[in-house]
Amino acid sequence: MKPHAFIAMPFGIKPGHDEALVDFDRVYAELIRPALEDAGCEVFRADQEPRAGDIRTDMFQELLVADLVVADLTLDNPNVWYELGVRHALRARGVVLVQGPRPNQPFDIYTDRKLRYQLKDGAPDAATLAQDRARLAAMARETLDTSAARKVSPVYVLLDHLREPQWRDLLLAERNEFSDAYEAWASRLEVARQKNRPGDILVLADETPTRALRLEARRAAGNCLIKLRQFDFALEQLEAALALDPDDKPSRDKKAVCLGRLGRFEEAREWTRRLTEDYPSDAEAWSLAGRVARDDWIARWRQPGVAPAQMREAAAAEEASLQEAIEPYHRAFIADPSHFYSGINSLTLHLLLEHLGGRTDRTVIDNLVGGVLWASLTAQERVRTDYWARASYAELCLLVNPREAVIREYRAAVATANRDWFALDSTRQTLELLRDLEFRPEETAAALAIVDAEVKRAAPPFVPRQVFLSSGHMMDAPGRTPPRFPSAMEGAAAERLAQALDAAGAGIGDLALCQAAAGSDLLFLEACMARGVRCRLLLPFAEPQFIEQSVLASQNGERWRERYFALKAKLVDAPRIMPAELGPLPRDVNPYERCNLWLLYTALALGVDKVRFFCLWDGGGGDGRGGTAHMYNEVKRRTGRVTWIDARTL
């Protein structure tokens, strides 16, 4: 998205310091707006808002969330000074000062860097206009590229401990373009999470509705991807958020989760160490440190195919590592006794240490039992459907209560999961840990049976063995000159695609992702179906429009339409329509390029190492944006597993 620039300046024709008139509308139209557009900005001035309402509503919103505020200080205009003061109070950076000729400089901004432009007869001087535009564009780009750690506002420079407010905390009560755009975008993001579609999330993350909101958008996308256990892609989003604001604590917290789950324990330990140093009284920071240490402890002794007795012996030998996991969880629960997550983890690890023959303090364990009981029950009272509070209480029952209570509470917990496969699977992982260490085997087996049954009902996502992605030329339209993919090539193309799929071992358990245009797409999909590959269609337009533009427009279009519907009738999954799934096409975004990225991200999210790309292509540019060349370059940037069938050799 383009950076959003708000202009604070006088409107119309005003008398200058020497009583000569200045046409500020011409200054805006001839100098400021073109310069900022040259810098890649979308430019807005409050008097341009076409809707009815209070002009201050839009002004305050712009001063809060605009990427750049340009203030023209040619005159001592009280409105401009007021707006500049509001921006300096709300944001630590993102201000450019400009001014025409004036006899003196106000004290408050005397030392601030400014761009001075020339006037002649009350308008921008034609002799210097090009130079002034270039200088302003350069200053705007430089300001936008400034590190998030560098403060420009004198308020934030002098008040070192002042922190910028979260934009959502200051949104005006009246609905506006920022809140409307963000709410629609966030709703689609959550739907994609619930449907287990990380590829959708990755596309939406690239389409932050306003650039000013990109920090929260990247953070939200990262959080959704964590819930779907797409830790590599979640880490990319969180690092993008931290590039915007290195001190954003929610992003720092979630990065710790990703590093730990990716097995990068050394980095994760250092990351959480800095978190706990910066936030020594924060329960979440200490809990994250415990989570990293616990995962490290488990990785040290758990081996596939090893008998429980051997794993128990290996786990007991890692007592020091287990103690390192217990301490931060315990500190987190002391810091916040309502933080039931850290409490139950501290208690579970304490009891496992005792179970493995390590030394424990029974008084500490008894205190933890009472603390977790209070924390989890009061959390349930606050929100009756809180799955994690109920799951924590069920785990507490498993640790200390009879088998009948364990069965009752795990049944109650899974009933609130609303078939959230990933939440249930997280609970199952804890139970598998207890099973592997033979902790209360009868109670653990009973709980695991309940959770396993619910996991099966929750319909876990299809996990393909291989993922085949394809793009290629449409069959030529009638009369195309020169021909690129005429009907005469169809047989040879189908044979080459079939050979490529056979060489890749395509078969049952694999997944193919493609559009379904006449030509290469449908030939590829037909070959995949013949080999038992599950096929999914992702279409850039509603089906009638897609058929009109990408099926019927080719040679023998009616025959291709019949083949499209014949293939569609055999699909397990209905075709997915991009505008319905991802929302309307954003400004300046090409639908075919968007669909290419949608296909690619959907494939990569299933496992980068599983993806194979097949393209039938002549190596040249397409008829427009978003063709096979675009997809080929995007795939090559991410993974090198490309099978290129050169259409010139058919």
Confidence bin at 52 (pLDDT 50/70/90):
very low
What is the percentage of the chain residues whose pLDDT exceeds 90?
Answer: 60
CA distances from 144 to 2, 70, 579 (A): 11, 12, 31
CA distance linking residue 561 with residue 407, whole number of Å: 55
Task: Work out whether strand 13-15 and strand 21-23 pair parallel, antiparallel, or are unpaired.
Answer: antiparallel
Place of tokens 């000062």: 97
Confidence bin at 56 (pLDDT 50/70/90):
low
Evaluate whether 456 touches 525 at the Cβ level (below 8 Å). no
Q: Is the pLDDT of residue 297 over 70?
A: yes
The whole-number pLDDT of residue 73 equals: 92
Instruction: Give the pLDDT confidence of 20-37 residue by residue, as tens digits.
Output: 899 999 999 999 999 999
CA distances from 564 to 169, 241, 433, 493, 510 (A): 50, 42, 49, 17, 21
Q: Indicate the range of 167-171, 398-402, 456-460, 513-517 predicted with least confidence.
A: 167-171
The whole-number pLDDT of residue 53 equals: 45
What is the percentage of the chain residues whose pLDDT exceeds 70?
Answer: 92
Q: Is the pLDDT of residue 147 over 70?
A: no
Evaluate whether 221 touches 202 at the Cβ level (below 8 Å). yes
Collapse the DSSP code of 17 into the 3-class scheme (helix H, G, I; strand E, B; otherwise coil) and give the result: coil
The whole-number pLDDT of residue 434 equals: 96
The whole-number pLDDT of residue 456 equals: 85
The whole-number pLDDT of residue 157 equals: 85
Q: CA nearest 220: which of 166, 176, 146?
A: 166
Q: What is the mean pLDDT of residues 100-124?
A: 81
Instruction: Give the pLDDT confidence of 177-231 residue by residue, as tens digits.
Output: 666 777 888 888 888 887 888 889 889 988 876 666 778 778 888 888 888 788 9
Cα-Cα-Cα-Cα dihedral of 317, 318, 319, 323, to 10°?
A: 180
Continuous segment of H or E residues that includes residue 10: none
Q: What is the mean pLDDT of residues 130-145?
A: 93
Instruction: Give the pLDDT confidence of 156-184 residue by residue, as tens digits.
Output: 888 878 877 766 665 555 566 666 777 88
Q: Is the pLDDT of residue 57 over 90?
A: no
Beta-carbon neighbour count of residue 170 at 10 Å? 13
Q: Is the pLDDT of residue 281 over 90?
A: yes
Mean pLDDT of the chain: 89
The whole-number pLDDT of residue 387 equals: 94
Beta bridge partners of 611: 467
> Looking at per-residue confidence, does 186 or 489 come out higher?
489
Among left, alpha and beta (phi > 0; psi -120 to 50; other), residue 479 is: left
The whole-number pLDDT of residue 50 equals: 45
Instruction: Give the pLDDT confidence of 421-443 residue by residue, as tens digits.
Output: 888 989 999 999 999 999 999 99
Evaluate whether 264 touches 296 at the Cβ level (below 8 Å). no
Confidence bin at 581 (pLDDT 50/70/90):
very high
Q: Half-sphere exposure of residue 502, counting CA atoms within 13 Å on the CB side?
A: 7
**Residue 568 is which amino acid?**
K
Q: Is the pLDDT of residue 381 over 70?
A: yes
Beta bridge partners of 614: 470, 643
The whole-number pLDDT of residue 335 equals: 95
Q: What is the DSSP letter of 275?
A: H
Continuous segment of H or E residues that includes residue 2: none
Cα-Cα-Cα-Cα dihedral of 129, 135, 141, 146, to 10°?
A: -150
CA distance linking residue 621 with residue 598, whole number of Å: 20
The whole-number pLDDT of residue 448 equals: 97
Q: How far separated are the first and last CA of the chain, in Å rounded?
A: 41
Q: What is the mean pLDDT of residues 446-457?
A: 93
> Looking at per-residue confidence, does 112 or 305 come out higher?
305
Q: Half-sphere exposure of residue 606, counting CA atoms within 13 Å on the CB side?
A: 22
**What does the DSSP assignment read for 303-330?**
-TT--HHHHHHHHHHTHHHHHHHHHHHH
Token pair recorded at residue 209: 């509705």
The whole-number pLDDT of residue 51 equals: 45
The whole-number pLDDT of residue 59 equals: 78
> Looking at per-residue confidence, does 458 or 595 come out higher?
595
Q: What is the mean pLDDT of residues 127-139?
A: 95
Evaluate whether 534 touches 557 at the Cβ level (below 8 Å). no
Q: What is the DSSP letter of 618?
A: -
Token pair recorded at residue 556: 């023998």
- Tell me, letter by letter, the H, E, C secondary structure of 142-161: HHHCCCCCCCCCHHHHHCCC
Q: Half-sphere exposure of residue 25, counting CA atoms within 13 Å on the CB side?
A: 5
Token pair recorded at residue 241: 């958020």
Instruction: Give the pLDDT confidence of 601-636 residue by residue, as tens digits.
Output: 999 888 888 999 999 988 876 555 657 888 888 888
Token pair recorded at residue 198: 């990380």
Evaluate whether 151 touches 95 at the Cβ level (below 8 Å). no
Evaluate whether 629 touches 598 at the Cβ level (below 8 Å). no
Beta-carbon neighbour count of residue 448 at 10 Å? 19
Looking at the chain, the number of H-run helices and the number of E-run strands are: 28, 15
